Amino acid sequence: MTAESIPLSARFQIGIAFLFIIATWIWHQRSSARLPPGPNPIPIIGNTALPKDTLSSFKSWADQYGDIMTLRILGKNLIILNSRKAADELLERRSSSTYARPVYTMAHKIVGMEHFPSQTSDPDKHRTHRRMFATALSPRASEVYWPTEMLEVRKAVRDMLNGPDNYAAAIQRALASIALKIAYGYDIDNEDDGLIKKIQRMMRILVEVQIPGRFLVDVIPALNYLPTWIPGMKFKRDGEVWAAQIREVEQIPFDRVKQDRAAGIAKPSLVSTLLDQSWAVDEENGIKVVAGAIYNAGADTTTAAIHNFLAAMVMFPDVQEKAQRELDAIIGRGRPPTMEDRAHLPYCSAVVLETLRWRPVIPAGIPHVFVRDEEFMGYLIPKGSVTLANLWAMSRNAAEYPDPEIFKPERFLEADKHGAENVEKNRFVFGFGRRVCPGIQLADSSLFAAVVSILWTCNISRPSSGSAKPQEMRFGTTLRIHRPNPFPIHITSRFLGAAEQIRDTIHD
C-alpha cells in the first residue's frame, strides 16, 4: 500500500494523532520527575504495546517495582497498585481522591456508558445507584433470591448431565436467568429469543468499545465533534447505532414491568420494588441502568468464575473429592444441598473463596482516576492519572498465599491460623473503596450454589479420550474477564439417583 492509496481522511487522522501524541509525550517528559518507577517507555508511544502475556508481565513488574509503578499509555499516566497496602491506602482511605472513573470518548460519550452505575463519576448518581442496588443486593435483601439461584443452577446441572458438551451454554443460561429474574421478574424459559439475542448483542458491544486503543477518538477526543458524514467517521456512526441498541435493551424489559404492574400481573423484581418507592421523578433512568447492570456487570463475571471452578476441579481432583466427602458427611445423599446448608459446609465455602483468589475474574479491576494530586511513598501522583489495582499480583503474593498457583481451599479454613484473616483479605477481588462491587453478595451466593450443586450431583473430569495433561489447561492472559479457554469436560452422575433427585426439585 502506498501513501497515495490511503484515503485522505485517514491520512489526516493519522497526522493529527501523531502530532497529538508527540505533544503529549513532550509535556509528560517534563512533568514526570516524581512519578513511581516502571518499565522504560518507548518514546512517543510509551508502554502502549503491552506484552502478549500481560498477566505474567504484571506479576513480574510487581516483583521488580514493588507496591506501586507507572506505565505510560499514549502519553498518559497509568498508575498500577501492586499490593493490597497501596490499594487500601489510595482506593480505600483516600477514596475521595480516587472514586472517579476515566472517560473514554467512544465508550462513555458516544455509546453512553458514562451513565452506567459502574462507570459514572457523578457522586450524586453514584450514591443513588448504590442505594437502589441495596434494595435487592444487600446481605439481608439478597437472601430472598436464594431459591431462584439454586433453582436455576440445578437446571444447569440437569442440562450439563444431559449434554456435557454444552456445559458452557447451560451455565450461561442459568446466570442470565438469575439476573433477569432478579432485575425484571422474567422467566427466561418463557422468553422469546428476540430479547435474549439483543442482550447478547449488547454484551458484545460493551466488550468492543472498551478495548484500549481500538478507536482513534479515544486518543483524540476532538474527533467526536466532527459531523458523521465526513469520511473516516464510521466509528461515530457505529457508536450512535450501538447506543440506540443499548437503550433499547434497557427500555424493553423496563416497559414490560410497568405494563405488567398496570395489569396487576407483575412478578417480584428489583424494578417493581424501586417503582414502588419514593424516588425522584427523574430517577426512572437510574432504575433502568441499575436493573441493566445486574445483567451486564454481573452475569458474565459470575459465569467466568464458574468456568474457573470447573477448571480447578479438573486440574485438582483431590479438592473435588474432599468437597464431596464433606457433602456426603453433612448433607448425605437423600437430598440436594441448599443455601441454608452453607454454615455447615466450611470446605465447600472455602472452595468458593479459593476460586475467586486463584483466578480473579477481573485481574486488574476497573480503573479509577485521581481527581486531585496525591503523594504516596514519596511519589507525586498527578490529578487525572488513571490507576488500576493489580489483583493478579495480589492474588499471587506468596507471603500471603503460599504456593499461589495451587488451588488450596485449606488456606481459608479457620483451622489454619491465617484462615480467618485470609477470608477477610479475599474481598479485594470485588474492588476497593466507594467502588466495591455492589453485587458481591449475589456473586458469592450464585457461585456457592454452583459449587455445591455440581459437586453433590456430578463427577467432573477430562474425557477419557483426551490427551491433554492438567498443566496444559490454558487461560486468558490479558486484562479482560479471566476464564479458561474452552476445554472438554466429562460429567457423570456421582451416584445412583443423584440426577433424578436434582430433576425432581425443578418445577419448570
Rounded Cα gap, residues 264 and 255, in angstroms: 14
Sequence-distant contacts of 448-451: CB under 8 A, at least 24 apart: 448/339, 448/342, 448/348, 448/349, 448/352, 449/146, 449/149, 449/150, 449/153, 449/339, 450/153, 450/156, 450/171, 450/174, 450/306, 450/309, 451/309, 451/323, 451/348, 451/351, 451/352, 451/355
| Tens of each residue's pLDDT in the chain, 508 residues | 444 555 555 555 556 666 666 555 555 554 555 899 998 877 666 667 677 888 999 999 999 999 999 998 877 889 999 999 999 999 999 999 999 999 999 999 999 999 999 999 999 999 999 999 998 888 888 899 999 999 999 999 999 999 888 899 999 999 999 999 999 998 887 655 677 788 888 888 888 888 777 888 888 889 999 999 988 899 999 999 999 999 999 999 999 999 999 999 999 999 999 998 877 667 888 999 999 999 887 788 999 999 999 999 999 999 999 999 999 999 999 999 999 999 999 999 999 999 999 999 999 999 999 999 999 999 999 999 999 999 999 999 999 999 999 999 999 996 555 555 666 668 899 999 989 999 999 999 999 999 999 999 999 998 875 544 544 788 988 888 899 999 889 999 999 999 999 999 997 5
For position 430, what pLDDT does the model report? 93
Rounded Cα gap, residues 430 and 137, in angstroms: 14
Q: Which amino acid is at 446?
A: S
Give alpha helix (H) positions in 265-377. 270-276, 284-293, 300-315, 317-330, 346-358
pTM, whole model, 2 decimals? 0.89
User: DSSP letters along 375-398, please?
Assistant: EETTEEE-TT-EEEE-HHHHHT-T
Q: In what order do the strands lie in the sheet with 368-369?
A: 68-73, 76-81, 386-389, 368-369
Domain architecture of the chain: domains with CATH: 3-504 (1.10.630.10)
Rounded Cα gap, residues 359 and 362, in angstroms: 9
Question: Residue 142's closest CA among 181, 187, 173, 182?
Answer: 182
Residues, the chain: 508
Contact 204, 224 (CB under 8 A): no
Contact 386, 98 (CB under 8 A): no
Q: Is 437 annotated as a binding residue?
A: yes
Q: How far from 389 is each of 420, 423, 428, 444, 484, CA to CA, in Å?
A: 23, 19, 9, 21, 22
Rounded Cα gap, residues 332 and 234, in angstroms: 60
From the number of C-beta atoms within 10 Å of its C-beta (0-12, 13-18, 19+), residue 343 rates as: exposed
Q: Where are the beta strands (DSSP E) in 9-156?
A: 68-73, 76-81
Rounded Cα gap, residues 401 and 404, in angstroms: 5
For position 25, what pLDDT does the model report? 55
Looking up cell 418445577 gives 507
Question: Residue 448's closest CA among 141, 176, 150, 143?
Answer: 150
Question: Residue 347's closest CA among 408, 401, 289?
Answer: 408
- Phi then psi for residue 2, to 5 deg, are -95, 165
Contact 459, 492 (CB under 8 A): yes
For residue 151 the three cell numbers come to: 433453582
Rounded Cα gap, residues 411 and 454, in angstroms: 22
Angle at 114 between CA 277 and CA 181, to 5 degrees: 45
In angstroms and rounded to an integer, the radius of gyration of the C-alpha atoms of the chain is 24
User: DSSP letters along 426-440, please?
Assistant: GGGGG--GGGS-TTH
Coil vs helix vs strand at 80: strand
Specify whether the backbone of 432 is left (phi greater than 0), alpha (psi in -120 to 50) or beta.
beta
